[in-house]
């Protein structure tokens, strides 16, 4: 029997962004398949994130960034009907942490926004980054930009905030749907990946520090 979580994820009323796909036959497609196979084989997540011998770090990172974006889109999509202007007027992670939005267009200064508005902007922003050929080149042989890992750090820091908000403000919804094991596995995978390659500042991890210590150590 399919879980309520999957039914919610694939509910036709929900509109999810199109996935960034890897072209079959490309090296990145093969890396994506290898990463997925490691997970499905039940390989320890700490080992699953390690760079395979002979592979390029930037390729491995690019594949995972896209994958985490797709997963977090789905996870947030399952709680989004309970994340409203009224329930979450501030994008926060508990009383101590408030996230303000800033970009190069409309919000040039850090701006307090509701969680759903912040999430929309965040997902749109990440989608633009990963579909930008100058940052995430898809053609084999096209080099990654020199600032690639710097760009990834910003993406991963912002994606981490989705986990923070979902865990602190909407975990009852996740639990009600019986999907905590799935979300916890996604979180551990993300955490091991960003710490393996130094893709997030320690201070960004603070809001989930206690939970992470129980779950990942």
**Binding-site residue set:** 83, 88, 165, 170
**Are the C-beta atoms of residues 44 and 154 closer than 8 Å to each other?**
no
In the Cβ-directed half-sphere of 90, how many Cα atoms lie within 13 Å?
A: 10
Task: Tokens for 171, please give them.
Answer: 């975990």
What does the alpha-carbon distance between residue 142 and residue 6 come to, in Å, rounded to a whole number?
37
Measured distance CA(186)–CA(44) in Å, rounded = 13
Residue with token string 């709680």: 79
CA–chain centroid gap for 75, Å, is: 9
Residue ranges at the known binding site for Zn(2+): 83, 88, 165, 170
Separation CA 64–CA 161 (nearest Å): 17
């Amino acid at each position: 029997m399919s879980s309520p979580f999957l039914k919610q994820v694939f509910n036709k009323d929900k509109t999810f962004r199109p996935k960034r796909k890897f072209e079959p036959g490309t090296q990145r497609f093969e890396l994506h398949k290898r990463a997925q196979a490691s997970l499905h084989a039940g390989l320890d997540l700490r080992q699953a994130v390690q760079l395979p011998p002979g592979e390029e770090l930037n390729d491995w990172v690019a594949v995972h960034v896209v994958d985490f974006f797709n997963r977090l889109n789905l996870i947030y999509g399952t709680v989004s009907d309970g994340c409203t202007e009224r329930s979450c007027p501030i994008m926060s992670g508990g009383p101590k942490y408030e996230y303000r939005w800033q970009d190069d267009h409309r919000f040039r200064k850090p701006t307090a926004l509701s969680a759903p508005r912040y999430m929309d902007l965040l997902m749109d922003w990440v989608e633009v980054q990963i579909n930008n050929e100058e940052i995430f080149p898809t053609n084999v042989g096209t080099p990654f930009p020199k600032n690639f890992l710097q760009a990834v750090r910003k993406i991963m820091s912002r994606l981490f905030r989705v986990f923070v908000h979902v865990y602190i403000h909407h975990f009852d919804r996740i639990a009600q749907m019986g999907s905590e094991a799935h979300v916890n596995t996604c979180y551990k995978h993300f955490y091991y990946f960003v710490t393996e390659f130094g893709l997030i500042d320690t201070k960004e991890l603070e809001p989930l520090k206690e939970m992470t210590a129980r779950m990942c150590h």
